[in-house]
């Protein structure tokens, strides 16, 4: 085992999980809703790639983005918007309903055997050979993570819509009194979540080229656990949590002997349980929080 | 005669089955400072939130410059020229002072003259300029109140509603805030001021309505401020 290799691979998988986590956290920020249906966006994007394997790659990528963003916005419009103001449990159940319904659709339409999708399989080649073997996909995943997370931070910190989203995430009632358009900020959160899902679908097919109906679900559940452990109430803690769990999963996968690898998920969750026992408020709570109540 | 800035007719608002306003009627002329006082639970905040479209109207009407606001969503009401400074200020503590101020720009009906208006507000409230990059949650209570008013002003309202701006502030700070309200009025903004402190409100505002039990019970002028008997009657009489 090579420590450098383990860390690099961990960074790459961590970046992927961070992208899922940031989408979950953005939606949670404006709706106080854990969107279990987000995994289905990734699955839908991956199926879109598998169904268009004879298209030019650039057209496949474009379609993947259209499908993920379109489905994300459509789910919000059709399933969540009519429930605006309903009890949180109701909306939570609605996200389950959407997720299971879509999973059934995938199963009926595409069968249980899975469909191959590998538009970017060329990335699975070695870019730099040496003491570390660096594959292109590893580099692309890390770069994509940095660019997309940095881009999201720029939008949130430098644009009016980003400022409105941050305000809405803190206090939606007051934001509305100031004229913030509810539907606009919520739709925008779902657009970003859709973009993240498209990128994850594209990159994840490189290492998992067989698309099944649970393709996006597994990665989303684990990213969600990471986001919760990090602290879902703030974007950066949730993202860091998603990154951490991706990193831990990858490292554990390297460290565990091959015979134990089927217990990988169990080990990850064991780690999560330990962390929650030690820091029940979230892994990163208490950092960078300087606000005090003043009267 | 011109339309009143705000005309509330027999307004009814309910929380579930519980009535909070049972036919409140009042009207405000352009350029006035009008007070609204009354005991806790009289329906003062309810009235403001109903005007802003944040609570559904169960009966009666609300008109702003002659146009009905019934059923109009808050985000459109704000763009028509109303702004509310909510009770407890509700600044965004994690955002900077300048970011808080800029959120006020979201509700503008037009984008003309933004830099002029920002400049005017910064002159009126130096604190929003001096502490522009500070986290708003670190400001003192009085500074937060000034920020909340400044934030409402940059949306360029013609009618400014304030919900208990003096709540929790030291008397000297209250005076500063109220002096500013007079200055704001002199720039052509109509003001409706909801307060618990009845006596000083009656003395300050052009006219003051007394709200009790979901209805407007009487109207007072500054001459009544020292008339303790009338004051007591307004609060406790039937």
DSSP A143-172: HHHHHHHHHHHHHHHHSHHHHHHHHHHH-H
Supply the ipTM of this predicted assembly. 0.92
Token pair for A2:
């090579």
Question: Which distant-in-sequence residues (6+ apart) come within 8 Å of B120 by Cβ?
Answer: B187
**A280 min Cα distance to partner chain B (Å):** 23
Q: Tabulate helix, strand, coil % of chain B (nearest 5).
A: 40, 25, 35
pLDDT 10s digits, A83-135: 988 898 999 999 999 999 999 999 999 998 999 988 888 888 888 888 788 88
Q: Is B183 on the interface with A (CB under 8 A)?
A: no
Of B165, B3, B139, B25, which Cα lies nearest the Cα of B84?
B165
User: What average pLDDT does range B120-147 have in this prediction?
Assistant: 93
Contact call for B102 and A166, based on CB within 8 A = no
Nearest Cα residue in chain A from B139: A294
Provide the pLDDT for residue A287.
56
Q: Which of B93, B96, B157, B165 to mutate to test the interface with A (most CBs of A within 10 A)?
A: B93
Contact call for A176 and B168, based on CB within 8 A = no
pLDDT 10s digits, B187-213: 999 999 999 888 889 999 999 999 998
Chain A contact residues (CB < 8 Å to B): 160, 163-164, 166-167, 170-171, 173-182, 290-295
Q: Which residues of B touch A85 (CB under 8 A)?
A: none
Tokens 């955002």 map to which residue? B95
Nearest Cα residue in chain A from B152: A178
Q: Is B170 on the interface with A (CB under 8 A)?
A: no
Residue B235 has pLDDT above 80, yes or no: no
Q: Which of A29, A177, A237, A288 to mutate to test the interface with B (most CBs of B within 10 A)?
A: A177
Exposure pattern of A183-215 as b/e (b: 16+ CB <10 Å)? eebbbbbbbbbbbbbbbbbbbbbbebbebbbbb
Contact call for B144 and A163, based on CB within 8 A = no
**B224 min Cα distance to partner chain A (Å):** 32
Of A182, A291, A295, the CB nearest to B168: A295
**A163 min Cα distance to partner chain B (Å):** 7
Provide the pLDDT for residue A290.
42
Give chain B's mean pLDDT: 92
Token pair for A152:
């999201």
Give B231 or B6, the one with higher predicted confidence. B6
Answer positive or negative: Cα dihedral of A260, A264, A270, A275.
positive
Question: Which distant-in-sequence residues (6+ apart) come within 8 Å of B235 by Cβ?
Answer: B38, B39, B198, B210, B212
Q: Is B99 on the interface with A (CB under 8 A)?
A: yes
Contact call for B138 and A160, based on CB within 8 A = no
Nearest Cα residue in chain B from A168: B92
Residue B148 has pLDDT above 90, yes or no: yes
What is the reported pTM?
0.89
Q: Which residues of B touch A173 (CB under 8 A)?
A: 54, 90
Question: Which distant-in-sequence residues (6+ apart) come within 8 Å of B1 by Cβ?
Answer: none
Of B75, B103, B139, the CB nearest to A167: B103
Contact call for A179 and B138, based on CB within 8 A = no
Contact call for B92 and A173, based on CB within 8 A = no
Q: Which residues of A touch B160 (CB under 8 A)?
A: none
Residue A269 has pLDDT above 80, yes or no: yes
Contact call for B102 and A163, based on CB within 8 A = yes
Of A242, A262, A238, which Cα lies nearest the Cα of A252?
A262
3-class secondary-structure state, position A131: coil
Give A266 or A108, the one with higher predicted confidence. A108
Contact call for B95 and A166, based on CB within 8 A = yes
Of A255, A268, A138, A133, which Cα lies nearest the Cα of A207?
A138
User: What average pLDDT does range B29-41 have in this prediction?
Assistant: 93
Answer positive or negative: Cα dihedral of B32, B33, B37, B42.
positive
Q: Which residues pair with B33 in a beta bridge?
A: B191
Of B84, B106, B135, the CB nearest to A291: B135
């Amino acid at each position: 085992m090579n420590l450098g290799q383990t860390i690099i691979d961990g960074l790459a998988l961590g970046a992927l999980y961070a992208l899922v986590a940031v989408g979950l956290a953005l939606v949670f920020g404006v709706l106080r809703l854990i969107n279990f249906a987000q995994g289905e966006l990734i699955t839908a994007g991956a199926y879109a790639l598998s169904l268009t394997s004879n298209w030019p790659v650039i057209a496949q990528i474009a379609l993947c983005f259209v499908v993920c963003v379109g489905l994300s916005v459509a789910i919000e419009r059709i399933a969540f918007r009519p429930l605006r103001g309903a009890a949180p449990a109701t909306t939570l159940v609605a996200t389950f309903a959407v997720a299971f319904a879509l999973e059934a659709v995938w199963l009926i339409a595409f069968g249980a055997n899975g469909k191959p999708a590998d538009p970017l399989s060329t990335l699975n080649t070695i870019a730099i050979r040496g003491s570390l073997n660096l594959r292109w996909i590893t580099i692309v995943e890390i770069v994509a993570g940095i660019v997309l997370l940095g881009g999201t931070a720029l939008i949130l910190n430098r644009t009016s819509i980003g400022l409105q989203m941050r305000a809405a995430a803190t206090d939606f009632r007051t934001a509305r009194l100031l004229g913030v358009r509810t539907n606009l900020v919520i739709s925008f959160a779902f657009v970003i979540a859709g973009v993240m899902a498209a990128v994850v679908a594209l990159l994840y097919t490189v290492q998992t080229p067989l698309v099944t109906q649970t393709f996006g679900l597994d990665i989303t559940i684990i990213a969600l656990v990471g986001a919760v452990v990090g602290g879902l109430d703030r974007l950066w803690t949730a993202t860091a949590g998603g990154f951490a769990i991706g990193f831990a999963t990858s490292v554990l996968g390297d460290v565990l002997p091959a015979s134990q690898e089927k217990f990988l998920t169990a080990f990850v969750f064991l780690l999560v349980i330990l962390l929650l026992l030690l820091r029940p408020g979230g892994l990163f709570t208490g950092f960078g929080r300087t606000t005090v109540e003043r009267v | 005669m011109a339309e009143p800035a705000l005309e509330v007719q027999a307004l009814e608002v309910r929380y579930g089955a519980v009535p909070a306003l049972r036919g409140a009627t009042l009207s405000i002329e352009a350029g006035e400072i009008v007070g609204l006082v009354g005991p806790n639970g009289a329906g003062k905040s309810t009235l403001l939130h109903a005007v802003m479209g944040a609570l559904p109207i169960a009966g009666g009407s609300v008109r702003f410059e002659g146009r009905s606001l019934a059923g109009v969503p808050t985000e459109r009401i704000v763009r028509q020229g109303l702004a509310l400074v909510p009770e407890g200020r509700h600044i965004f503590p994690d955002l900077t002072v300048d970011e808080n101020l800029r959120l006020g720009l979201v509700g503008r009906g037009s984008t003309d003259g933004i830099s002029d208006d920002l400049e005017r507000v910064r002159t009126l409230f130096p604190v929003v300029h001096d502490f522009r990059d500070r986290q708003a949650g670190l400001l003192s209570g009085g500074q937060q109140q000034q920020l909340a008013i400044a934030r409402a002003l940059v949306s360029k309202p013609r009618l400014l509603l304030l919900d208990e701006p003096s709540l929790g502030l030291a008397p000297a700070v209250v005076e500063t805030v109220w002096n500013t309200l007079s200055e704001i009025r002199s720039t052509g903004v109509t003001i409706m001021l909801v307060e618990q402190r009845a006596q000083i409100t009656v003395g300050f505002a052009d006219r003051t309505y007394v709200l009790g039990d979901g209805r407007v019970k009487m109207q007072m002028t500054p001459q009544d401020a020292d008339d303790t008997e009338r004051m007591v009657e307004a609060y406790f009489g039937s």
